[in-house]
A and B are shown apart, each in its own frame.
Chain A
Amino acid sequence: MSTVGATGEAARRPFPGRRARLGDVLLQGVAGLAALGAFVLICLIAYKVVDGSRLSLSTFGLGFLRHVGWDPVHNRLGGASFLFGTAATSLGALLLATPLAFGIALYLTELAPRWIRGPVTALVETLAAIPSVVIGLWGVIVLGPVLRDHVMPALHSTLGFIPLLGTPSATGTGIFTATFVLTIMILPIVSSISCELFLGVPAELKEAALGLGATRWEMVRGVVVPYARGGVAAAMILGLGRAVGEAIAVAQVIGGVDNLVSWNLFNGGNTLAGKIALEFQSSTSSLETSSLFYLALILLVFSLVMNVFAQVVVRRVARRQGLVAR
Chain B
Amino acid sequence: MSAADLGMLQRPNDRLRRRRAVNRGMELLAWLAAAIAVAILGIVVWSVAKRGAGELNLDLLTKPPVPFAIGPVQQGLANAFAGSLVIVGLATAMALPVGILVAIYVNEFAPRPIRLGVGLTLDVLNGIPSIVIGIFVFGLLVVGHGQKGWVGAFALAVLMLPLAARSMIEVLALVPGSLREASLALGVPRWRTTLGIVLPQTVGGVVTGTVLAVARVAGETAPLLFTSSIVGNQTSWNPGHALQSIPVAIFELSEQPDPADHARAWAAAFVLLLFTLFASLSARWLATRSRRKIGRAGR
Question: Which residue numbers of A lie inside 8 Å of B, CB to CB?
Answer: 1, 3-8, 11, 14, 16, 20-21, 23-24, 26-28, 30-35, 37-39, 41-42, 44-45, 48-49, 51-52, 99-104, 106-108, 110-112, 120, 122-127, 129-138, 140-142, 184, 187-188, 191, 215-218, 220, 238, 241, 244-248, 251-252, 273, 276-277, 280-281, 292-293, 296, 299-300, 303-304, 306-308, 311, 325-326
Residue of B nearest to A297 (CB): B132
* B231 CB, nearest partner CB in chain A, Å: 12
Question: For the complex, what is the distance from the CA of A235 to the CA of B106, rounded to whole Å?
Answer: 25
Question: For the complex, what is the distance from the CA of A247 to the CA of B280, rounded to whole Å?
Answer: 22
Q: Which residues of A contact B20 (CB under 8 A)?
A: 215
- A299–B36 contact, CB under 8 A? no
Q: Which residues of A contact B122 (CB under 8 A)?
A: 38
B59 at the interface (CB under 8 A from A): no
- A51–B139 contact, CB under 8 A? yes
- A122–B281 contact, CB under 8 A? yes
Question: Which of B70-78, B85-93, B215-223 has 4 or more CB atoms under 8 Å from chain A?
Answer: B215-223
Q: Which residues of A contact B119 (CB under 8 A)?
A: 326
- A216–B23 contact, CB under 8 A? yes
Q: Which residues of A contact B27 (CB under 8 A)?
A: 111, 216-217
B26 at the interface (CB under 8 A from A): yes
- B34–A49 contact, CB under 8 A? no
* B195 CB, nearest partner CB in chain A, Å: 7
Question: Which of B61-69, B201-209, B266-274 has 4 or more CB atoms under 8 Å from chain A?
Answer: B266-274
- A30–B101 contact, CB under 8 A? yes
B38 at the interface (CB under 8 A from A): yes
Question: For the complex, what is the distance from the CA of A7 to the CA of B190, rounded to whole Å?
Answer: 11
Residue of A nearest to B129 (CB): A245
Taking chain B's interface residues, is the majority helix, strand, or loop, or is none over half, making it mixed? helix
- A107–B31 contact, CB under 8 A? yes
**Cβ contact of B121, chosen from A4, A39, A44, A101, cutoff 8 A:** A39
B55 at the interface (CB under 8 A from A): no
- A48–B127 contact, CB under 8 A? no
A296-B30 contact, Cβ under 8 Å, with A34-B102, A129-B276 = no
B58 at the interface (CB under 8 A from A): no
Q: Which residues of A contact B128 (CB under 8 A)?
A: 42, 45, 245, 300, 303-304
Residue of B nearest to A129 (CB): B280
A32-B109 contact, Cβ under 8 Å, with A44-B140, A135-B44, A217-B23 = yes
- A24–B40 contact, CB under 8 A? no
* B256 CB, nearest partner CB in chain A, Å: 11
- B31–A35 contact, CB under 8 A? no
